[in-house]
Structure 1
Amino acid sequence: MIKREMYMSRIRPFIGNDLVKVLTGIRRSGKSVMLALIQEKIMASGVDRAQFISINFENMSNAGLCTAQALHDEIIRRAAQISGKVYLFFDEIQEVQDWEKCINSFRVELDCDIYITGSNAKLLSGELATYLAGRYVEFVIYPFSFDEFIQLYRTIFPEADVRTCFNRYLTAGGMPYLANLRYEETACRQYLQDLFNSVELKDIVQRNKVRDVDMLERIITYATANIGTTFSSTAISKYLKSEGRSVSPETVLGYLKACTDAFLFYQVKRQDLRGKKILTVNEKYYMADHGVREAVFGGNQRDINLVLENIVYLELRRRGYDVTVGKMGDKEIDFICELQGNRLYIQVAYLLASEDTIRREFGVYERVRDNYPKYVLTLDEFGMSRNGIKHQNIRDFLLEKEWR
Structure 2
Amino acid sequence: MVRDENSKGVGIEIPNAKKLNKMSVGRAALLDSSTLKLKPRPDYLAMLVKFLDNEAIKVISGMRRCGKSSLLIMLAEYLREMGIPQKNIVMANFESSEFFDVTDYRSLTAWLYKRMDEPEHYYVLLDEVQLVDHWERAINALRVDADVDIYLTGSNAYLLSSQLATLLSGRYEEINVYPLSFKEFMNYAGLSDRRLGLERYLRFGGLPPVVDQGDDCQLAETMLSGIYNTVVVKDVAQHVQIRNMSVLGDVARFLADTTGSSVAITNIERRLASAHRKTAGGTVERYVQGLVDAFLFSRAQRYDLKGGAYLQGGEKYYPADLGIRNMLLDFPAGDLGFALENVVYNELLVRGFHVRVGKLGNIEVDFIATKGETKLAIQVTATMLDEKTRQRELAPLRQLVTKSANEGLRRMVLTYDTVGLGVVDGIEIVNAIDWLLE
Common fold by TM > 0.5: yes
Residue in structure 2 matching 1:61, options 74, 98, 106? 98
* Structure 2 residue 360 is the aligned partner of structure 1 residue 328: yes
Matches within 5 A, 1:356-395: 356-369=388-401, 370-382=407-419, 383-395=421-433
Distance 1:18 1:300, change over 3 A: farther
Contact 2:154/2:160 (8 A) holds in 1? no
Q: In structure 2, what is the Cα distance between the partners aligned to 1:206 and 1:316?
A: 30
Name the counterpart of 2:276. 244
Amino acid corresponding to residue 249 of structure 1 in structure 2: G
- TM-superposed CA distance for 1:300, in Å, is 5.1
* Structure 2 residue 130 is the aligned partner of structure 1 residue 101: no
Residue in structure 2 matching 1:85, options 108, 121, 125? 121
Contact 2:180/2:206 (8 A) holds in 1? yes
Residue in structure 1 matching 2:379, options 343, 347, 363? 347
Work out the number of aligned pairs and report it.
395
Name the counterpart of 2:292. 260
Q: In structure 2, what is the Cα distance between the partners aligned to 1:384 and 1:88?
A: 50
Secondary structure of 1:367 counterpart: helix
- Tell which deviates more after alignment, 49-58 or 189-198: 49-58
* Structure 2 residue 108 is the aligned partner of structure 1 residue 71: yes
Name the counterpart of 1:223. 255
Distance 1:238 1:296, change over 3 A: closer
Name the counterpart of 2:178. 142
Amino acid corresponding to residue 394 of structure 1 in structure 2: A
Q: Provide TM-score, normalisation by structure 1.
A: 0.94
Secondary structure of 1:381 counterpart: coil
- Tell which deviates more after alignment, 348-357 or 89-98: 348-357
- TM-superposed CA distance for 1:87, in Å, is 1.1
- TM-superposed CA distance for 1:284, in Å, is 0.1
* Structure 2 residue 142 is the aligned partner of structure 1 residue 110: no
Contact 1:22/1:139 (8 A) holds in 2? yes
Name the counterpart of 1:19. 56
Q: In structure 2, what is the Cα distance between the partners aligned to 1:28 and 1:279?
A: 34
Contact 2:130/2:160 (8 A) holds in 1? no
Contact 1:171/1:300 (8 A) holds in 2? no
Contact 2:204/2:326 (8 A) holds in 1? yes
* Structure 2 residue 66 is the aligned partner of structure 1 residue 29: yes
Distance 1:150 1:255, change over 3 A: same
Q: In structure 2, what is the Cα distance between the partners aligned to 1:289 and 1:96?
A: 27
Q: In structure 2, what is the Cα distance between the partners aligned to 1:300 and 1:363?
A: 30
Secondary structure of 1:126 counterpart: helix
- Specify every segment of 5 or more residues in structure 2 that has no aligned partner in the other structure, as ranges: 1-37, 402-406
Name the counterpart of 2:3. none
Q: In structure 2, what is the Cα distance between the partners aligned to 1:60 and 1:309?
A: 41
- TM-superposed CA distance for 1:69, in Å, is 0.6
Q: Provide TM-score, normalisation by structure 2.
A: 0.87
Amino acid corresponding to residue 140 of structure 2 in structure 1: N
Q: In structure 2, what is the Cα distance between the partners aligned to 1:104 and 1:183?
A: 46
Q: In structure 1, what is the Cα distance between the partners aligned to 2:430 and 2:331?
A: 25
| 1:284-327 deviations in Å (ceiling 9; x for gaps) | 00001001112232345422211111111111001110000001
| 1:127-155 deviations in Å (ceiling 9; x for gaps) | 3212111111101100001111111211x
Contact 1:334/1:346 (8 A) holds in 2? yes
Q: In structure 1, what is the Cα distance between the partners aligned to 2:185 and 2:430?
A: 20
Q: In structure 1, what is the Cα distance between the partners aligned to 2:157 and 2:394?
A: 37
- Which of structures 1 and 2 has the larger relative contact order (alpha carbons within 8 angstroms, sep 6+)? 1
Secondary structure of 2:418 counterpart: coil
* Structure 2 residue 165 is the aligned partner of structure 1 residue 129: yes
Name the counterpart of 2:350. 318
Percent of residue pairs bearing the same amino acid type: 35
Amino acid corresponding to residue 249 of structure 2 in structure 1: E
Q: In structure 2, what is the Cα distance between the partners aligned to 1:247 and 1:184?
A: 39
Secondary structure of 2:409 counterpart: coil
Contact 1:377/1:394 (8 A) holds in 2? yes
Secondary structure of 2:212 counterpart: helix
Name the counterpart of 1:199. 231
Name the counterpart of 1:42. 79
| 1:267-289 deviations in Å (ceiling 9; x for gaps) | 11000111111011100000010
- Tell which deviates more after alignment, 161-170 or 96-105: 161-170
Runs of 4+ aligned structure 1 residues displaced above 6 Å come to: none
Residue in structure 2 matching 1:188, options 202, 220, 230? 220
Q: In structure 2, what is the Cα distance between the partners aligned to 1:327 and 1:195?
A: 35
* Structure 2 residue 267 is the aligned partner of structure 1 residue 235: yes
Q: In structure 2, what is the Cα distance between the partners aligned to 1:300 and 1:174?
A: 18
Name the counterpart of 2:13. none
Q: In structure 1, what is the Cα distance between the partners aligned to 2:140 and 2:77?
A: 25
Secondary structure of 1:181 counterpart: coil
Residue in structure 1 matching 2:301, options 269, 280, 293? 269
Q: In structure 2, what is the Cα distance between the partners aligned to 1:300 and 1:24?
A: 30
| 1:203-260 deviations in Å (ceiling 9; x for gaps) | 1112221112222111111111111111211121122223333223222211100110
Q: In structure 2, what is the Cα distance between the partners aligned to 1:218 and 1:296?
A: 9
Amino acid corresponding to residue 373 of structure 1 in structure 2: R
Q: In structure 2, what is the Cα distance between the partners aligned to 1:393 and 1:298?
A: 29
Secondary structure of 1:65 counterpart: coil
Residue in structure 1 matching 2:369, options 337, 341, 348? 337
Contact 2:377/2:411 (8 A) holds in 1? yes
